[in-house]
Structures are given as C-alpha cells and as structure tokens.
Amino acid sequence: MNEATLLWVEEKKAQGIVAPNLDRLARELVVQEAALAQCWKHGGRAFMADQGEILPDDPEDPMRTAMRQMMGVFAQLDRGMTAAKLRRGRRIKGEKGQYAYGAPPYGWQAHKNELTEEEMEQAGRARARQLRDEDELSFREIAAVLEAEGIRPKRGERWHPETVRRMLANPTGKPPTLYPRQRTA
C-alpha cells in the first residue's frame, strides 16, 4: 500500500483506493485493515478488481468484516510460507557450498553456483580503496575519479557516493557466509 495514496484520500485529491485484490493492497492483515480504516475515515472508497467495492464495516453484518479479515490472514500466511520456502532453499544451497545470496556485490560474480572474483571489478575496488586510504578522498570524489578513469559500476552508468560507501564498507566485498558448508565426519 502506497502511503501517498492514503494521503491523497485524506487531502481529498483522490476519492479512494484501487487494487487488483486485497492481497495486493497489503500482505499483512494489520496493514490491510489500517489502510482500509484510514481510507474510510476520510470518506474514501476501496475497490478491488476481483471483488468490486470493499464496503466499510457494518455492525449489522459482522460476516462482511470476518470474511475480509480471513482473506487478509490467508494473504499473510501465503507471504510467510513463500518467505520460508525461499529461506529454506537458500539455506540448502548454502549448505552445499553454493552461492545463494542474490546478485553478487561489486568485484564478484556467481559462476556455476560459486562466488568467484571478477578481475576488472576487483581492480575497481582496489582503486577505490587506494583513493580512500591514501588520498583521503570523499565518497563523492572517489565516484568522480572512478568515472573519469573509465571504471564502471556493476549496474548503471554512473557511480554514486552511497554505492562507493557500501562497496568500501566491507574490506573483501564478499558477502558473509550465512550457511557454511557442513562437513561430515
């Protein structure tokens, strides 16, 4: 749920909220209920493409509230089950000694499920470290030097000071091993 949308409803810049379905509105019951309550509090209406208008609570029809909240509970459960499945998959992959952590950081590449050094990027890391340690340049200045020297970031066209800061925050650049390879006796 985009907070700006609710702000627009509050400021009367929008008449309500629209979402494909309740679980796209929010994947947690408490967030779903808070968003709907805020919308209704300010006179807004809520529409879901798969159900039409979601009507405010009615003391004469408690089943309306219960069914909406049950849908929210199952959306939250689905999100939790998906996250657990992904964590389990990463753990299993990590226990096998394979790289299981998403896009590799600058200076590294995932090759055949293993993290290996990327030569050009390692040189860029070393140059950034040198500029920071020896020349005591700011992250913004380091970004400018890297660009001027033709050293490209992993993504995008330009270096940003925050990207340089994150890169230099970890001396090796290698992500921590969350799931070390288990040895059998």
Q: Where are the domains of the chain?
A: 3-95, 108-169
User: Which are the contacts of 130, defined by CB distance < 8 A and separation ≥ 6?
Assistant: none
Condensed to tens digits (0 to 9), the pLDDT of residues 25-58 reads: 999 999 999 999 999 999 999 999 999 999 999 9
How far the first Cα of the chain sits from its last, in Å, is 50
Q: The pTM is what?
A: 0.62
Q: How far apart are CA 96 and CA 47, in angstroms?
A: 47
Q: How far apart are CA 72 and CA 126, in angstroms?
A: 49
Condensed to tens digits (0 to 9), the pLDDT of residues 74-106 reads: 999 999 999 999 999 988 888 887 888 778 889
Q: How far apart are CA 102 and CA 86, in angstroms?
A: 11
Q: How far apart are CA 118 and CA 110, in angstroms?
A: 9
Q: How far apart are CA 164 and CA 50, in angstroms?
A: 45
Q: How far apart are CA 134 and CA 137, in angstroms?
A: 8
